[in-house]
Chains A and B, each alone.
Chain A
Amino acid sequence: MDVDTIAAISTPIGEGAIAIVRLSGNEAIKIAGQLFHGTDLNKVESHTIHYGKIVDPVTNEVAEEVMVTVMRGPKTFTREDVVEINCHGGLASVNRLLELSLSQGARLAEPGEFTKRAFLNGRIDLSQAEAVMDLIRAKTDKAMNVALKQMDGKLSKLVQTLRQQLLETVAHVEVNIDYPEYDDVEEMSHEMLITKTKEVYVEIERLLQMAKQGKILREGLATAIIGRPNVGKSSLLNALVQETKAIVTDIPGTTRDVIEEYVNIRGIPLRLVDTAGIRETEDIVERIGVERSRQVLKEADLILLVLNNGEELTEEDIKLFQAVDGLEVIVIVNKTDLEQRIDIQRVKEYAKGHKVITTALIEEKGINDLETAIAETFFAGHLDAGDLSYVSNVRHIQLLKQSLDALTEAMNGMEAGVPIDLVQIDVTRAWELLGEIIGDTVHDSLIDQLFSQFCLGK
C-alpha cells in the first residue's frame, strides 16, 4: 500500500478546548519526533502518551505545548504507525502544527484517506466497504466544491499565469531537445532559464507572503502590550478597545489574567493580548501571569512596549528591550502629561530603529499617531485587503511552498552547470504542483504548447 505518511486535523474545525493533528504512515513517528521536544518518540513504547513542546525546526521557536500519543502499527486505526498530537484548541495553533508536520515530509491527507487506509490495510470488514466508498465520494465532492469555492478567482488566474510562463519556458527547452536543428528558436541558455524561473519564483514568494498577511487579516495581528507595572498598559488597551475590560488601578500587578480582545485599527484586526506586568515577583499568582506573558511575547506579531515618561529608564525597562529584540515593536512613551524624566534619546537608542510614539493616554492624546504607526508597520501604508485574503487554504499554501522548493532546486542546478534538460525536470515539477492547486495536471498541455508556440515539421 501507500507508504507515504499522511497528516490531517482530526478534530472538527472550530474553537474547542483541544484539537488533534493525526499522522499515519511509515514515517509518522519520525516526523513527529523531528518536531517534538521531550522524550525521544522513536524510543517510546507503543500506545503511550507524552508531554512536551512542538518546536519549529527552522526557527527553533516553541510553537505549542502538546500531548503526543504514539501508536505503532498494526494495532491502530489504519494499521500503520499513528501519531496524534493534542494541542490547545483554536484554528491558528492547530493549523500551525499541521503545517509543521507537512514541512517535515508528511502529505496532506486526501478526504477520507485515513478510513481508506484503514480499509485497504484490512482494518475494516467487508460490510463497511460500501460505506467507505460512499464516504470517499461524498468527502471528495464536498472538498472539491469547498475548495473551488474557497479558491478565489484571483488566485486561480494568477496561478494560471504563472503556469503558462513555466509552460512556455519548458516548451522552449523541449523544442530545443526534440527539434535540435530548428534554427529560429534561440537555444535556451542557463541565463535565460534562470531569469524566467526567477520571475515565477518571485511571484510565488509574493503569494506566500500574502498568505501570511492574509492569515493576519483572518486571525488578527497578535498584539502584546508589555511594560513595567503601572506604566499605562491597561489604559492603552482601554484606549484601543474603547471600553473598560482590564482593570485600571494605580496598584502594580492588578491585571493578572491575559485578556484577549479584537479591535480594528485602520482595517487591520488586532488581537490584543494584555499581559500581566512583566517583572520579578515573589507572588505566585503574579508569576504565572509573568510566565504566560513571556510565552505570549514570542507568539506576538506586534509588541507594544509601554514606558513611563514620568520616570527614568529602569533596569526592568532595559530587560524588556532585550526581551523583544528582533521582534516587531512599537515603543510608546506614555504619561506625557507628567513631567518628563525619561531620556528620550536613550529610548531611541534602545528602540533600534523601531517607531517611538509619545502618548498621554489618560488625556486620550497620541492614539492617532499610534494607529498610524501600526498601519504603517504592517502594510507599509498600502493595504489592499482584497489582495491579501486569497491564499488561505493549507493545501494551496503547501503546494505553493513545494513548487517554490522545486524552482529553488532548478536554480541551484543551473548555477552548478547541470545540463538544461535535467534542470528542466524540476521546472516541470513546479508547473505540475501549481497545476494541482487549480486541479489541472494534464500533461498533454505541454505538447499542445509545443506545437502552438513553435512552427515545427519536416
Chain B
Amino acid sequence: MTYDAGHYDVIVIGAGHAGCEAAFAAARRGAKTLMLSLNLDMIAFMPCNPSIGGPAKGIVVREVDALGGLMGKVIDKTYIQMRMLNTGKGPAVRALRAQADKPLYMQEMKRLLENEENLTLRQAMVEKLIVEDGVCKGVITETKAAYRAESVVITTGTFMRGRVIIGDVSYESGPNNQRASVKLAENLEELGFELVRFKTGTPPRVNNHTIDYSKTEIQPGDENPRHFSYETTEAILDQIPCWLTYTNEFTHKIINDNLGLSAMYSGMIKGTGPRYCPSIEDKIVRFHDKPRHQIFLEPEGRSTEEVYVQGLSTSLPEYVQREILRSIPGLENSEIMRAGYAIEYDSVVPTQLWPTLELKNIPGLFTAGQINGTSGYEEAAGQGLMAGINAASKALGKETVILDRSQAYIGVLIDDLVTKGTNEPYRLLTSRAEYRLLLRHDNADIRLTDIGHEIGLVTEERYQNFLEKKKLIEEEKLRLENITLKPTDQLQEIIEAAGGTALRDALKAADLLKRPEMKYEMIEAVTPSDKELSWEVKEQIEIQIKYEGYISKANQQVDRMKKMENKLIPDDIDYDDISGIATEAKEKLKKVRPLSVGQASRISGVNPADVSILLVYIEQGKIARVSNE
C-alpha cells in the first residue's frame, strides 16, 4: 500500500546536473517543486572529470547562466583553475573551461537548492510513475510514498539499470558504487518507452602524494580568470595547476597484452560507447601507430588528494590499470584511490520527446540529461533547465519555451536529440552548430537574457544592468560608425605599431576597426568615448564591428531557416493520408512528429521532395478548413 505524501506542481527525480537546474528553474518560476534524490549527499556530483566548460560546452554554461540557471554561478565560486581556450582563434569558438573543486561544487549547489523558496529536497528512490489515462500524475517511491504532481521530470543519468564493469568484474550499480535504479527502468519499459543501452567510462584516480610532478609539464590557469556567470564579480586567484604527461610504448604493450581482459573487447559490454571519449584501449587499437597519448593530471579539489587521470578511461582489470599507470612518467609510484570503470545504462530514445522535452506519448512527463542519450555535465544542465522551465509552464499554465538552432547551443542540442536521435552518447561540438558565429561565448546574455527575464529566472536588477550594457554597446557602435578619423601622426603611429599599413585618407572609425590588426583600445586612444565602458562592452563593440560581414551572412541564413521554421505542422496531421511522401520518410515523420516544416526537413530520410509535398498538403488542409467553415 502507498500513502499520500503530498501534491506538488513539479517533481524532479534525480539531483545531478540536469536535476538541479530543472528543480531550481521550476521552483524559481513559482511552481511548488519536489526534488527526489536517492542520496542527498550526492547532489551535483561529478562522476567523471573534474571540469566544466570547454569548446561548445562552455558556451552552454554561459547560456544556462543567461537564462537564469545555476551552473555558471556555482562553478565561478568553486573553481580551482580557469582557462580561456582557443584565444588565438575567432570569437565564435573561444571557450572558457574551469577545473572544479568537486566537493565544494556539490556543497555550494546543495546550499543554493536548500535555500530556494518553493523547493523541497527529499531522499528517496522512485520506483514507479503514476500514469492515469495516459497522463503522468506523479511518482511512487520505494518507501511507498505517493506524490502527485502536474509535471514530472526524470533526470536519472546513468542510474537506470546501471552496470559497472572492471575487467571481468561486473555488478549492478550507478556511478561511483551508488544504487542502480532498476524498478523505474522496468516501469518505463512497461509504459512503452523505447530504451537503448549506452556505455561510458571513467579513468582511475590516484593519490596526489604518490605523483612525481617533476616528470610532468605544468598546465597553469589564466592569470586574469574570466567567469561563466554574468553576475560573478570576484575572481579566485590562488589557482591550482594541472599537469601533463604521456603514455609510451611500454604502456601500449601492457594494454595490447591485456586487451582480451578489457570488458570492451571480451564482449562483456553490449552498450554503444561514445567515439569522442574512447577508452585508452580503444585509442591504442584504433590509432596503433601513435607513439604516445596525452595524459592530464587534474586535482579533484582543494580538500582532497585525489587526482583524476584524464586520458586513461578504461575497463581493464584493476591490476592492469595499476601496471599501466606505473609505466607513465611521473606515475611510477602512483597509488590508485579509485579504479577506472566502464558503465552501461539504459537511456531513452530521444526522438520520443517533443522539443520541450516532454514525452509525446505520456503528457506531463519530461526527461532531461544523460537519460536522453547525452553525455557531459553541461549538456545535462542545459536540458535540465529547459525541462524544468517547461515542466513549470505545464503545471502553471504558461507558455512553453523552445530555443531554436540560431538562439543557443542548447537549442542545437535539443533539436538534434528530438529530431535526429543519437546512436551513441551525444556530445556537443562546435561543428554541430550551423550558426556558431552567432552562438558565441561573449554574447550569450544578448541572446538569452530577455527570455530569462520574461520567464522569471533573471532578477530585475540583473535585467536592468543588461539593458544598460546593451544600450552602451549600441551607442558606441553608432558613434564609431559616424566619426571620421583623420590620418594624424598619432593614429599612423598606432597603426604602424600594430603592424598595419599607414592610412592614406580619412576614414570612419568603424572601418578602421575592421582591419585585422586593429583593436578597440587603439581606436579609443584617438577618440575616447565620454562614457565609462567596461571591457565586456568594448569586447562586444569590437566583435560586432570586426566580423559584421560574416555575422550578417549568418543572419541571412537564419532568416531563410526561420521561414521554414515558421511553417507549423498541425498536430493532427495524418501522414498516411499523404500519398506522395516516400514510405521511409513517412515512417520517420510519424515517429518524430516534427512541429514545423523546418524541423521535418532535418530528419534524415526525409528528402526535399517529401518536404515540398508536405508543404502542399498542409496548405491544402488550410484551404479545406476555410472552405468547411
Enumerate chain A interface residues (CB-CB to B < 8 A). Answer: 1-3, 110, 112-113, 116, 119-120, 122, 125-126, 129-130, 132-134, 136-137, 140-141, 170, 174, 176-184, 416-422, 425, 442-444, 446-447, 450-451, 455-458
Contact = CB atoms under 8 A, between A and B. Distances in A.
Contacts of B550: 418, 422, 425
B283 interface: yes
B431 A183 contact: no
Contacts of A174: 429-431
Contacts of A182: 294
B456 interface: no
15 contacts: A1-B563, A126-B623, A126-B627, A129-B623, A133-B616, A140-B609, A140-B612, A174-B430, A178-B55, A420-B90, A421-B92, A422-B547, A457-B313, A458-B277, A458-B311
Given A110-B608, A422-B90, A451 B276 contact: yes
A457 B56 contact: no
A183 B286 CA distance: 18
Contact of B431 (A119, A126, A450): A450
A425 B286 contact: no
B580 A134 contact: yes
Interface string B62-99: 00000000000000000000000110011111010000
Nearest to A132: B616
A231 B432 CA distance: 69
A457 B609 contact: no
A369 to B, nearest CB: 54
The residue in B90, B436, B617 that gathers the most chain A C-beta atoms within 10 A of its C-beta is: B90
Contact of A184 (B92, B290, B437, B615): B290
B429 A450 contact: yes
Contacts of B604: 442, 444
A2 B560 CA distance: 8
B209 interface: no
A418 to B, nearest CB: 7
Contact of B616 (A3, A129, A457): A129
B429 A455 contact: no
Query: DSSP class of A's interface residues: helix, strand, loop or mixed?
Result: helix
B140 to A, nearest CB: 38
A457 B429 contact: no
A116 B516 contact: no
Nearest to A134: B580
Nearest to B624: A126
A137 B613 contact: yes
Given A444-B420, A458-B313, 18 more contacts: A116-B615, A126-B620, A133-B578, A134-B580, A136-B612, A137-B613, A170-B431, A174-B431, A178-B56, A178-B431, A180-B55, A181-B85, A417-B517, A418-B90, A425-B550, A447-B432, A455-B287, A457-B276
A113 B611 CA distance: 12
Contacts of B612: 110, 112-113, 116, 136, 140
Nearest to A413: B550
B278 interface: yes
Interface string B268-302: 00000001111100110011001001101000000
B579 interface: yes
A456 B287 CA distance: 10
Contacts of B56: 178
Contacts of A421: 89-90, 92-93, 430, 436
B609 A137 contact: yes
B512 to A, nearest CB: 14
B277 to A, nearest CB: 5
Given A180-B85, A422-B547, A455 B580 contact: no
B310 A133 contact: no
B454 interface: no
Contacts of B419: none
Given A177-B430, A450-B429, A457-B276, A130 B579 contact: yes
B579 A133 contact: yes
A300 to B, nearest CB: 40
A381 B608 CA distance: 44
B451 to A, nearest CB: 26
Given A178-B55, A442-B604, A133 B516 contact: no
Interface in B286-340: 286-287, 290, 293-294, 296, 310-311, 313
Nearest to A442: B604
Contacts of A458: 48-49, 203, 277, 310-311, 313
Contacts of A456: 276, 278
B294 A181 contact: yes
B431 A447 contact: yes
A417 B88 CA distance: 12
A183 B294 CA distance: 8
Q: Which residue, B290, B311, B615, has most C-beta atoms of chain A within 10 A?
A: B615
Given A177-B89, A451-B276, A456-B276, A133 B293 contact: no
A422 B92 contact: yes
B276 to A, nearest CB: 6
Contact of A457 (B277, B290, B554, B613): B277
A455 B90 contact: no
A120 B203 CA distance: 57
A134 B612 CA distance: 11
Contacts of B249: none
B117 interface: no
The interface centre, meaning the residue of B49, B311, B553 with most chain A CB atoms within 10 A of its CB, is B553
B222 interface: no
B496 interface: no
Given A136-B580, A451-B276, A177 B608 contact: no
Contacts of B517: 417
A129 B619 contact: yes
A416 B516 contact: yes
Nearest to A443: B434
B100 to A, nearest CB: 14
Contact of A422 (B48, B437, B616): B437
Interface in B382-439: 420, 429-432, 434, 436-437
A422 B279 CA distance: 32
A136 B619 contact: no
A77 to B, nearest CB: 16
A457 B311 contact: yes
A264 B535 CA distance: 73
Nearest to A420: B89
A417 to B, nearest CB: 4
A455 B55 contact: no
Contacts of A444: 420, 604
A408 B157 CA distance: 47
Interface in B188-223: 203
Interface string B174-199: 00000000000000000000000000
A81 B320 CA distance: 74
Given A129-B616, A182-B294, A455 B608 contact: no
Of all A-B residue pairs in the complex, the 9 with the closest CB atoms, nearest first, are: A419-B90, A417-B516, A140-B609, A455-B287, A451-B275, A129-B620, A137-B580, A133-B580, A421-B90
Contacts of A132: 616
B199 to A, nearest CB: 14
B86 A180 contact: yes
A237 B403 CA distance: 71
A458 B278 CA distance: 8
Contacts of A137: 580, 609, 613
Given A422-B437, A458-B277, A119 B619 contact: yes
A418 B516 contact: yes
Contacts of B294: 181-183
Contacts of B430: 174, 177-178, 421
B517 to A, nearest CB: 8
Given A136-B609, A140-B609, A422-B92, A120 B283 contact: no
Nearest to A113: B612
B92 to A, nearest CB: 6
Choose among B578, B619, B623 the residue with the greatest number of A CB atoms under 10 Å from its CB.
B619
A42 B434 CA distance: 36
A447 B275 CA distance: 10
